[in-house]
């Protein structure tokens, strides 16, 4: 576990830059192998074993790979919802039915994303999920997640709260991204578990 000196706690922007720098050193083989290990561990989670609908995402660049997990869940008969980024940074949702159901979408000057190519189900579709797999850059020992800073998943979590929905929240990360502490704000919600290539860690 990486330890951060809380007496001089870096701000979120500095931490994001640090974690992204480490990720950007990974090779394509590192990312693929990590994704396969992540899938093996995630598939053992009771929250996913019993889920009928899972909201997830397609990894891009050096993010921990998710496609192996998505395909394994689909083979189990799980309905998978994937996000589509809206102009205001909120997320719409569509179904994943295999790699052929994805479209590569360029959003301005940002990295291209892989989004569902089919019917859009609306931002509230996520409230039907039994589990939500969240992207992130780090998680701490309290289960507090450091996101990329776009605010999209803050909106998702707020929408779940308003709907009284309580899906299992799980973040997918690399081992070095489980840290002692990340800065948290009052609206931040802890995740239930983190899955890394070496295993699963649960939070109280």
Q: Is residue 119 part of a domain?
A: yes
On the question of pLDDT at 110 being above 80, the answer is no
CA atoms 58, 65, 69, 168: torsion sign: negative
Domain containing 99: what range?
A: 32-199
Q: Is residue 113 part of a domain?
A: yes
Q: Is residue 181 part of a domain?
A: yes
Tally of structural domains, the chain: 1
How high is the mean pLDDT of the chain? 90
Q: Is residue 23 part of a domain?
A: no
Tokens 């931002």, located at residue: 123
Q: What is the CATH number of the domain that holds 83?
A: 3.40.50.10420
Q: Is residue 3 part of a domain?
A: no
Q: Is residue 134 part of a domain?
A: yes
Confidence at residue 46, expressed as pLDDT on a 0 to 100 scale:
93
Q: Is residue 58 part of a domain?
A: yes
Per-residue DSSP letters for 158-204? HHHHHHT--PEEEEE--GGGEES-----TT----SEEEETTEEEE--
Q: Is residue 54 part of a domain?
A: yes
CA dihedral 103, 152, 199, 39 (to 10 degrees): -20
The per-residue pLDDT for range 150-195, each reduced to its tens digit, is 889 999 999 999 999 999 999 999 999 999 999 888 878 899 999 9
How far is it, in rounded angstroms, from Cα 92 to Cα 77?
22
């Amino acid at each position: 576990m990486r330890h951060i000196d809380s007496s001089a706690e870096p701000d979120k922007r500095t931490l994001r830059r640090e974690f992204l720098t480490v990720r950007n050193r990974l090779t394509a083989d590192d990312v693929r192998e990590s994704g396969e290990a992540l899938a093996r561990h995630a598939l053992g989670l009771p929250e996913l074993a019993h889920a009928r609908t899972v909201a997830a995402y397609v990894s891009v660049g050096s993010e921990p790979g998710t496609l192996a997990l998505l395909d394994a869940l689909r083979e189990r008969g799980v309905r998978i919802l994937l996000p589509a980024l809206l102009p205001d940074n909120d997320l719409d949702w569509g179904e994943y039915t295999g790699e052929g159901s994805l479209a590569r979408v360029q959003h301005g000057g940002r990295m291209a994303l892989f989004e569902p190519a089919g019917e859009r189900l609306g931002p509230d579709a996520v409230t039907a999920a039994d589990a939500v797999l969240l992207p992130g850059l780090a998680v701490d020992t309290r289960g507090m997640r450091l996101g990329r800073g776009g605010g999209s998943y803050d909106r998702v979590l707020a929408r779940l709260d308003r709907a009284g929905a309580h899906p299992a929240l799980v973040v997918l990360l690399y081992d070095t991204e489980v840290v002692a502490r990340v800065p948290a704000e009052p609206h931040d919600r802890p995740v239930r578990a983190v899955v890394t290539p070496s295993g699963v860690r649960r939070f109280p």
